[in-house]
Amino acid sequence: MKRQTLLSLLSLLLLSTFSFAQNDKEAHKVVCVGFYNFENLFDTIDTQGKRDQDFTPTGKLLYNSKVYQEKLGNLSHVISELGTDLTPDGAALLGVAEIENKKVLEDFSIQPKIKDRNYQIVHYESLDKRGIDVALLYNPKYFEVIKSGKITPKLFYDKKPGAEKRDTVFTRDMLWVKGRLDGEVVHVIVCHWPSRRGGSYLREGAAKYCKDFIAGIQDENPRAKVIVMGDLNDDPISPSVKDVINAKDKKGQVKKGGFFNPWGQLYKAGIGTLAYRDSWNLFDQILVSHSIIQNDREGYYFYKNSIFNKSYLISKGGRFKGYPFRTYSFGKYVGGYSDHLPVCIYLVKKVPMKP
């Protein structure tokens, strides 16, 4: 697909068309839930046991304090704007991927453009060989953590029956957070499934661990509200998402225990969150359980979704013209943001209007 076509497709990105009804007797409160792959947000320190040597001042990327601070500033600028079209506080919940440790998120959260949100952090170290993890940032004005933990997939490169030796894949753990969103219990799972360098069965295996964990939540409470978000390294039509998680892109097809995937129609239109070989993929997704698409009860329900594609996030020239504006291009620092675009969904709930 030509780069010009990529740009024109991206410019046609639309929010989902779910109507937002209001009348003189009710109003709606809105919260934004976002996800962003931070693309290698490392500190500048060589940490033993992690493959982070490139991201040091003497590494091949010459990743120094100046680069680190500029990247923090760039990322915080994006998050300062994400979701503010409908809520001035932006993302109440923000899942992130490709971060080295909790410290880089602490440095991120105090950036001038977002420090007033007082983002708190839930993070666990994983065994990923690159040293990158997922995490959840939350605004305590909206969210209170009840409990959290990690889901560790036990995956193998060789899945042949009868194989005597199989190489373990040390991929990113998934993060589970149970909390109260304005007093309403919500479960959030943040994922970064195995890359496409391995077989698709690795992502399907990770999805199975995720699905089994969700089943435990739903066994305890069939009407539990569950949000799954992340860089899934698969598109909405991929088996890991469509079949294993059982995520449908039409609300009417979602059954109890299943998930609604609002990104399917965008993907089918050729719109995505990252580009590869002049075509778009939509790996960055936020899925919501059946209970979140029901608007006939009290509490938050799904309103609409969006890919945040401001023009400054798109490369203006070079080999990656029309692609998301990344931090490095062929080993050279170019001062961008990420090779992924951020995504978000909006949840709304009815609130009585004051007399």
**pLDDT mean over 182-202:** 92
Q: Is 317's pLDDT higher than 70?
A: yes
* pLDDT level of residue 80 (50, 70, 90 thresholds): very high
**pLDDT mean over 141-154:** 96
pLDDT digits (tens, 9 = 90+) for 339-349: 999 999 999 99
Token pair belonging to 140: 């305590």
Share of the chain above pLDDT 90, in %: 79
Structural domains in the chain, CATH included, are: 3-10+30-352 (3.60.10.10)
Token pair belonging to 252: 């009417």
The set of long-range contacts for 3-6, using a CB threshold of 8 Å and a minimum separation of 24, is: 3/278, 3/321, 3/322, 4/322, 6/275, 6/278, 6/279, 6/280, 6/322, 6/323
The larger pLDDT score, comparing residue 12 to residue 190, is at 190
| Least confident span in 120-129, 195-204, 260-269 | 195-204
The larger pLDDT score, comparing residue 341 to residue 28, is at 341
Between CA 27 and CA 18 the distance in angstroms is: 16
* pLDDT level of residue 18 (50, 70, 90 thresholds): very low
* pLDDT level of residue 162 (50, 70, 90 thresholds): low
Q: Is 179's pLDDT higher than 90?
A: yes
* pLDDT level of residue 177 (50, 70, 90 thresholds): very high
Q: Is 24's pLDDT higher than 80?
A: no
Supply the mean pLDDT for the chain: 90
Which pLDDT score is estimated for 161?
57
Measured CA to CA in angstroms, residue 111 lies from 33, 139, 142 at distances of: 20, 15, 20
Which pLDDT score is estimated for 19?
36
pLDDT digits (tens, 9 = 90+) for 89-140: 999 999 999 999 999 999 999 999 999 999 999 999 999 989 999 999 999 9
| Least confident span in 4-18, 218-232, 244-258 | 4-18
Which pLDDT score is estimated for 160?
56
Measured CA to CA in angstroms, residue 216 lies from 170, 219, 224 at distances of: 24, 5, 11
Cβ-in-10-Å burial (0-12, 13-18, 19+) of 158 comes to: exposed
Q: Give just the sign of the alpha carbon dihedral 77, 81, 87, 91.
A: negative
**Strands (DSSP E) along 112-218, which ranges?**
120-123, 133-138, 143-151, 155-156, 168-169, 174-181, 184-192
Measured CA to CA in angstroms, residue 268 lies from 122, 136, 264 at distances of: 34, 29, 6
Which pLDDT score is estimated for 352?
77
Nearest CA to 303 out of 7, 1, 29 is that of: 29
The angle formed by the CA atoms of residues 178, 181 and 187, to the nearest 5 degrees, is 25
**pLDDT mean over 9-25:** 41
Q: Is 8's pLDDT higher than 50?
A: no
pTM: 0.92
